[in-house]
Amino acid sequence: PAGLEVFRRRLEGVLVARSYVMMDYDIPTEQVEAAVELTPGIESPTVAPLHKEGWSAVRAMVPRDGAQRLMDELYGLGARGILLTDIHACRL
């Protein structure tokens, strides 16, 4: 029926979103490569320079399971301002 494919994509997006969280953190730029190995995201993380010299901001979708462990590892690399945000829906 009309609209079934759209409904299916929306439902799938909600189910997938429940398995992930969005992780944001600030990290010294020299540690970005090591951090991105831990949080590669779905396609690739977003990395942007911060106003503070020598620091970068990173944003990536990470599996909900294990997110606390990732926070610990990132903190060990020097990351600060580590945030987890629920994702309500997505399209991958």
- Quick check: is 48 in a domain? yes
Is residue 32 in a domain?
Answer: yes
The total domain count for the chain is 1
Closest CA to 89 of 5, 12, 8: 12
- Say if 91 falls within a structural domain: no
* pLDDT score of 86 more than 90: yes
Whether residue 59 lies inside any domain: the answer is yes
7 to 2, 19, 31, 54, 92: CA distances (angstroms): 10, 19, 42, 45, 15
Tell me, yes or no, whether 92 lies in a domain: no
Does residue 27 sit within a domain? yes
Q: How far apart are CA 23 and CA 63, in angstroms?
A: 10
In a domain, 44, yes or no: yes
pTM score, two decimals?
0.87
CATH, residue 29: 3.30.70.120
What is the extent of the structural domain holding 57? 4-86
CB 74 within 8 A of CB 35: yes
Task: Give residue-wise pLDDT tens across range 34-72.
Answer: 999 999 998 999 999 999 999 999 999 999 999 999 999
- pLDDT > 90? residue 16: no
